[in-house]
Structure 1
């Protein structure tokens, strides 16, 4: 074991803590809030402990008579790694009525295809190609559940004649139904297209990978002319399988600029799907669309983005062409109403292949609540629990460690530890990023010591830590402490690369505990044997019933765990609200279109711009197809349309001629094309109009400010940083400040602690300018190849937030370029296009060509440049083994491990170098062909 110790080195944070301990006293507090973390209320912070305590680890194994003691020292000897022990969990043998959970252990609940041959995907009733059936079988899907069969055989569904709205629990296999119907439309009607719409980028990326595996080897029938067009398309120039079914992802921050002609199946975020449909309606290519899948349909009443789902569905219903709409959700209480709106067959099931047992934990006592959403015979009540009239099933003993004096935290740690000791994974939901990190740290300190792990597990975790350190951002300091113990956290403060590595390692069983924020419950796919809720709050507020269902639905996974369990851990003070939440009905969804949130104005402008409605009568008819007409009375809808129409007319976005015909103005069309809200579009137009009169072109700050999104990112400005960056601006940058109305004297006062005033409309607009400029400074550094983690440290922001800013700005920049093109500002569009490329590459102008090659980002591109590989052709002609040496230079944070790990590392780099070489060769050939064509 001593040799293994020598292979690891301390993290920079640990070394700093040791130096600080020797110089000024004790180390920093584990779980101490970073300045950018979400602020917690007293109820959530009083349970966060100080790091110190015992050097002995106690592991409480299930069914054991007592804890097993490990006395060996950990690999990391810093003060932050002092070992703690989890509390023992005692079974009280409380009687429980037989449940589906307990019965499932005795007999199988799912019929097989030997009993019902229609559960076999190869059955003629589904008419699926043998290759597709084979692909599903290779992914472990050889038969379907009875509910899936019954759903698919609904009237007109397999032929595409009828729409479908269906509900199934999370983990019940609902996605497969939509996938089969969508694939049938594309395969049975050649040269047609389908859209699959998901709410989050992470889900889009995951679905793209999955569906590409599903359609592997399936050919799309194309006529010769269409095939040649596809081959000439930019997205397929680097891919050899031109005639197979093409699955393309559309999301903000994507590097590939795909178009309608580049796909057979598009998997999109809400915003990208709406933009695609608008464009296709305008150029009449919408006639190729045959199927649209609306996942997470319950989000239609989300205040921020739900209206986009309603806009999309309403447009599709208004088109006079056959489009099969497939809507699905795990939580849709008024599914029949939604089905009526979409003219769809409705189907609902509560079947879940993996049963879930639900529990409540309060003051260390574990109470059985119910199974698979079915409540226990009697609802738990506050007074009965307080008086001891309800018998708990288990008891989590108190802890002697002061870190675990909070009973909620003690329960979370003990339950997670018990699950890991059984060899299963647990997913913990916490109310903020800081609680996520604190929980991960403390749980890692009760896990078995590193020298107790088997070599295979240790090797996998060391590989994961090595991968994290090899990222351009390096490894997060908290992950450095926790990963080797099988514990990690997952929240938006991490970069997407870090989150992907964590999710993959958890899914593979390398990590046994993952702590995530509640807000990511619907955006991640990390099933677990046990889901543990550290309170039921998101920030200060309690989550809603639908969100609670989403989180608890992550428990259990077919093929990995025979059962699932959920534990909601709460304080005595919160017990009444938590019980109300647990037993609350899921609220019925309704249209969120209204004039107050400005969504109706956006809807009216879009439909007039794409000319689906050009008069009062046609506008009224169009909105009769919208959900608002099914969830609100006629007078409400009439008033919304009247006031919304007047507002966008007053803004100069539409005109009404003498024949009462509606038409979008140039500004109105530009706003729709750029996918911004009408009021944001008017603000952008005013700013750009002013900019055109005095554009500061001898620097980059003005263009970068134009690229910065106008919406509020919820950022907190560090005014000292703002002042320092302002003082360092050159003459060009100072002129931009003056142009924007930012006064250096005001910034100096703000840096000294004077609060930013936002009382009047003028003060609010100026505050908006300050925030945009602060973000523009970050974009400037990113464009000049400063790594994300350095930008985050410099501006006191999470690394994930900086990365999200860069990705959001790429999409916003593309929208601004379209805005300028539609306004006839060609020169401005050209200037912005160049900076958009730099923003996407994260590099200066000289590296833009190299940055088009996969795996070559800003920092890596600069290393290639400095090693003499300054063109795509130079990389194309290089031996991949030579490229490995360059890639090694680009990863200075790589964990150096001798022997087999070293060989494995070089193998991974060689595989990456081969991809780089092949991609560079294809890009180079395209360049040569273009040069020959010009000659």
Structure 2
């Protein structure tokens, strides 16, 4: 990397210099170098030199470097081991004659003296070398090297590839010549105007030649040296046969000397004639270099990848600009050693699938990003990156949009309700799709359906271990299995910090494996029992050794309030360093935060007091004057809680404050460990439990992996607090291996194997029983079937699943009798089945959704949004709903007649709700799911009307975080219902209605703020600030100055401002590109146009 980077810096930073004449390229020998008896020739050579200067004056501005026509034979001049014996075979007399026929006039006849002088010196040295004893040959080689460096000032290696002549300077050789006393003109840099791609190519070729020369000098075996050289640089028809030392070979050599002298002379003259005739336009090469540097470097990187060369170019096959952007945007100037090793693996160079595993904070993502940029820029293919959570998707979108703007590719978000299916097919630029697991699956389905899966060059999966976690793991497995089955050119890269049974994953993904235990910051693990702290030590007999006793004066009151000594542990770190305290539950997070603040001294209030006041002020702004009372008490001390009960705006604001050091302590749940990157100097685990379940090894490793911030901390610490009763379990926890990862494809029945079969048949990947069974054998489940299947075989499960889908009306079966004994069962998808898989509807709810939509057509109430909202309220949240009947009755009584009509259509009466609220017995049966779903619809309906989550939270006595999650789920499900309806003609009326509703649910703000909230990273609170500051549209934001934004918008860091502007520019470019696509499509002549057909017939 560094070597390639230095080459580019050297090329860019060269000062403007005058182009050297031929005289300074081919300089005459100095007096000291003339052989005895040669003094008489000096005058003749001076005359020849003047002729050469005169000739050089008529050449064009760009003198081509000795282009030897299109002949396969070429002359190699220079290099660290230039030797007459290594010259390539010269053309025959007949070939030379052919070359003369191409030139009408001998324009460079006066240069004969120069060529003769040069060849004479070469021959003279060669003769001397042959006469020297064996032990003096080494010195002769250096003499030859000196002669070449003086005759050819900048030592050019010249090679012809088609019509392209490339050349390169060997800096090492120039320095070596300088040490030997060779004087050179300071202004002569022949490579100044040479494209960087050619310079890099020639430097690599020259280094290869030098290495071969060094080997030759050491071994003194001319035959071996010649053989190595021609293998590296020469075509087979150019190989000169090794010469023997016997008498016959000497005669052959003597007889060929004249022909060789003549050939060299004729080659030089022919090349200069071609240069003189070339019609080269006169223009500024420095300007051209600046304009084309990036594209040339991409081209040379593309050639490098295609040729599977070990030379990775300037920056791992990428332009040096990429390295500069990483330094500018992320402060990364040098890669870790393991990252370099991973990027240079043969499996990576050969585009094989790869799984790599390192501890948390080891820098895994950077490797994936470099590989993605290689695919986008060099291979010109689209890339899909799959991440586990929406928040991480949005963070990655913000981080990579700047790269997309600078390097010319699109970054598209596929999360929640965002994402277009099928994705827009770009004319020139490629796309980086960043998606959640569910959206990534839908994206792959759409690419397969449209026959564009081959355009996907690379798929990167973060947190690969999630393939073994429930229904989301099953969805991830389906996605990867389809890619493996349908595209042999798509590379898959998986990464994780917690993998154990890697062999199964390797077999499934057909992948190589790389692992390292590298951490940029050392991590020390501790256990705390009572007031004693032990260090985890695998070498110790019981797995731990005594470290220290807590030295903190506790009052009786404090002991009762803080039996786990949390105050003592956090005050050792804060406020100068950051700390995370993981708690078993959300309520525990809030209680611990308040308890710690009660016992902190007043000195903590003064630390960054002004900045903390700004945080509180901004929290009030995004809550329309409302602020959580717990946060109001804890933030002045630099402490806050972090869990799913926060709104998206609150969570983002608190995370920004923590990252900048305004907040120094988070009390959080385990979800933070797998979410956005918020490292700390010390991580404390309040108890070895997550909710009521004992901690798993994978969870433990993820939590403690947050300890230690690269570039900030020199050490990271984790402390697990435990009771004596849990000691044995904890010792097993810290010593046992990571949990194995198992497929959930069959366990998640309706979200797993049945959904897979439906999509396989719908996409026509596999449509008969044998093909489907074959596909299943290639899945992760197929790899583990011997472990997972105890009672039934894979064949039996396949048959049962297909039967279930057929009975449910999602598939139809055709029986084909191939012979009397052989029967084949073919399947095709029904309209309902296609709608289900296109809408990614859980098959447990697809028939219910169809009935609800069908019933809705009988009396769809459009006077308000309530009826539509009910139809898009997620089914899976209904079971978790426990209505407050008094609130339900109060809200019901406030409905307008049209809204009450919706409830009546659904079969929910006001008398029923009133009886439930008063506790009376109810004889009439009412569907509980419909009642609960309508209650959730009331919450969403109220939220859309008021757009204030705090007000709605108070009205329904629900946590604001729960309401936020309900809103996000409804927006996502609304998008799914929209795709479901698009496949069924009878639901045409819903299509236009659901597009607008999905948009309202996604943003849930006033209409004027929606354009700003389309930008990744801009939530409601920030959108209000921007709108108030005059940034009222996407164009305003895309053209904003980040420095002005920092001064105008409260609590906006420079880094965040740059990311917002980059995201806005990216979105604006995407929209502009889509409009251009539309215009071109409208103006394009249809392929089936009658006139076009007639025209083509006439031509034929």
> For 1:543, which of 658, 676, 695 is the aligned residue?
695
Map 1:82-97; keep pairs closer than 5 Å: none
Match of 1:526 in 2: 678
Q: Write the distance in 2 (CA, Å) between the matches of 1:406 and 1:395.
A: 17
Match of 2:385 in 1: 196
Contact 1:356 1:566 in 2 (8 A): yes
Deviates more, 1:854-863 or 1:335-344: 854-863
Match of 2:481 in 1: 314
CA shift for structure 1 position 832: 2.3
Match of 1:826 in 2: 988
> For 2:803, which of 635, 646, 649 is the aligned residue?
646
Change (3 A) 1:539 1:121: farther
Contact 1:429 1:517 in 2 (8 A): yes
CA shift for structure 1 position 461: 1.8
CA shift for structure 1 position 554: 0.8
Match of 1:334 in 2: 501
Q: Deviations over 1:453-512 (max 9, x none)?
A: 25xx22222222222222145432211111121111111111112111211221221111
Q: Write the distance in 2 (CA, Å) between the matches of 1:156 and 1:927.
A: 37
Change (3 A) 1:451 1:320: closer
Match of 2:462 in 1: 295
Contact 1:430 1:534 in 2 (8 A): yes
Map 1:527-676; keep pairs closer than 5 Å: 527-594=679-746, 597-598=749-750, 599-633=752-786, 636-659=793-816, 660-676=825-841
Q: Write the distance in 2 (CA, Å) between the matches of 1:185 and 1:439.
A: 47
Contact 1:201 1:252 in 2 (8 A): yes
Structure 1 residue 419 corresponds to structure 2 residue 573 = yes
Q: Write the distance in 1 (CA, Å) between the matches of 2:1040 and 2:505.
A: 55
> For 1:261, which of 422, 425, 446 is the aligned residue?
425
> For 1:172, which of 355, 362, 368 is the aligned residue?
362
Change (3 A) 1:863 1:460: closer
Match of 2:883 in 1: 717
- How many residues are treated as equivalent by the alignment? 747
Contact 1:880 1:910 in 2 (8 A): no
CA shift for structure 1 position 540: 1.8
Q: Write the distance in 1 (CA, Å) between the matches of 2:865 and 2:362.
A: 52
Secondary structure at 1:247 match in 2 = strand
Q: Deviations over 1:323-371 (max 9, x none)?
A: 110011111101122112111111121222211111111222211113x
Q: Write the distance in 2 (CA, Å) between the matches of 1:862 and 1:255.
A: 24
Q: Write the distance in 2 (CA, Å) between the matches of 1:482 and 1:614.
A: 60
Q: Deviations over 1:251-292 (max 9, x none)?
A: 105499993436611111001100111111111122210000
Q: Write the distance in 2 (CA, Å) between the matches of 1:803 and 1:520.
A: 17
Secondary structure at 1:557 match in 2 = coil
Change (3 A) 1:272 1:856: closer
Contact 1:193 1:291 in 2 (8 A): yes
Match of 1:726 in 2: 892
Match of 2:371 in 1: 181
Change (3 A) 1:916 1:293: closer
CA shift for structure 1 position 148: 2.3
Q: Write the distance in 1 (CA, Å) between the matches of 2:517 and 2:592.
A: 33
Secondary structure at 2:384 match in 1 = strand
CA shift for structure 1 position 769: 2.1
Map 1:448-459; keep pairs closer than 5 Å: 448-449=601-602, 453=606, 457-459=608-610
Q: Write the distance in 1 (CA, Å) between the matches of 2:1025 and 2:705.
A: 45
Residue ranges of structure 2 left out of the alignment (5+ in a row): 1-309, 817-824, 1083-1100
Match of 2:395 in 1: 206
Q: Write the distance in 2 (CA, Å) between the matches of 1:919 and 1:315.
A: 30
Deviates more, 1:747-756 or 1:500-509: 747-756
Contact 1:200 1:523 in 2 (8 A): yes
Q: Write the distance in 2 (CA, Å) between the matches of 1:303 and 1:930.
A: 40
CA shift for structure 1 position 872: 7.2
Contact 1:359 1:366 in 2 (8 A): yes
Question: With CA pairs under 8 Å and 6+ residues apart, which has the higher RCO, 1 or 2?
Answer: 1
Residue ranges of structure 1 left out of the alignment (5+ in a row): 1-119, 219-243, 382-389, 888-899
Contact 2:422 2:450 in 1 (8 A): no
Q: Write the distance in 1 (CA, Å) between the matches of 2:747 and 2:1049.
A: 62
Deviates more, 1:834-843 or 1:650-659: 834-843
CA shift for structure 1 position 215: 4.7
Secondary structure at 1:711 match in 2 = helix
Match of 2:916 in 1: 750
Deviates more, 1:147-156 or 1:396-405: 396-405
Match of 1:150 in 2: 341
Contact 1:654 1:665 in 2 (8 A): yes
Structure 1 residue 484 corresponds to structure 2 residue 484 = no
Contact 2:474 2:748 in 1 (8 A): no
CA shift for structure 1 position 177: 1.9
Q: Write the distance in 2 (CA, Å) between the matches of 1:916 and 1:607.
A: 36
Structure 1 residue 438 corresponds to structure 2 residue 591 = yes
Contact 2:1018 2:1060 in 1 (8 A): no
CA shift for structure 1 position 718: 2.1
Q: Write the distance in 2 (CA, Å) between the matches of 1:857 and 1:166.
A: 34
Q: Deviations over 1:872-905 (max 9, x none)?
A: 79x989x999xx9xx9xxxxxxxxxxxx999968
CA shift for structure 1 position 835: 2.3
Secondary structure at 1:770 match in 2 = helix
CA shift for structure 1 position 577: 3.2
Secondary structure at 1:678 match in 2 = coil
CA shift for structure 1 position 128: 2.2
Change (3 A) 1:636 1:748: farther
Contact 2:943 2:952 in 1 (8 A): yes
Secondary structure at 2:347 match in 1 = coil
Change (3 A) 1:559 1:780: same
Change (3 A) 1:680 1:404: farther
Match of 2:444 in 1: 277
TM-score w.r.t. length of structure 1: 0.72
TM-score w.r.t. length of structure 2: 0.62
Q: Write the distance in 2 (CA, Å) between the matches of 1:931 and 1:342.
A: 38
Secondary structure at 2:574 match in 1 = helix
Match of 1:100 in 2: none
CA shift for structure 1 position 786: 3.3
Contact 2:912 2:922 in 1 (8 A): no
CA shift for structure 1 position 820: 1.0
Change (3 A) 1:623 1:918: closer
Contact 1:316 1:323 in 2 (8 A): yes
Q: Deviations over 1:168-192 (max 9, x none)?
A: 11111111222222221221122x2
Q: Write the distance in 2 (CA, Å) between the matches of 1:267 and 1:400.
A: 53
Match of 1:695 in 2: 860
Q: Write the distance in 2 (CA, Å) between the matches of 1:510 and 1:906.
A: 13
CA shift for structure 1 position 397: 4.9
Secondary structure at 2:460 match in 1 = strand
Which structure dedicates a bigger proportion of its chain to helix? 2
Match of 1:685 in 2: 850
Structure 1 residue 393 corresponds to structure 2 residue 557 = no
Q: Write the distance in 2 (CA, Å) between the matches of 1:202 and 1:855.
A: 9
